[in-house]
Amino acid sequence: MTHTYRIADDVAWVSQEDLDADGEPTAYLTRVPRGMPIMLEGSGCLVWLALADGGTLEEVTAAAAAMSDAAVDDIRDDVAELVDQLVVIGVVRED
């Protein structure tokens, strides 16, 4: 069975492109109403943006690779590790 991933319903977030298009990609997120603020920079932000559209791990990895001009095979393990961590802390849901 293939799992799909999506941002949890109780997460509020904004990315730097909404705030300031200059500099390194950054996303700020928190679980509402009492979550700890989390900041994802660089490639972590790109994975988060890929998760915004939801999808399988392969789809999320491909979207992050496209945004970063990286090869899917080069980032697959890192994306999987970050997605797993985001699931554990509850900001991403695995369906």
pTM summary value? 0.91
pLDDT digit string (tens) for 39-95?
Answer: 999 999 999 999 999 999 999 999 999 999 899 999 999 999 999 999 999 999 999
Q: Is 61 helix (H, G, I), strand (E, B) or coil?
A: helix
Contact 15, 45 (CB under 8 A): yes
pLDDT tens by residue, 1-55? 789 999 999 999 998 765 555 678 899 999 999 999 999 999 999 999 999 999 9
What is the CA angle 71-39-45, rounded to 5? 20
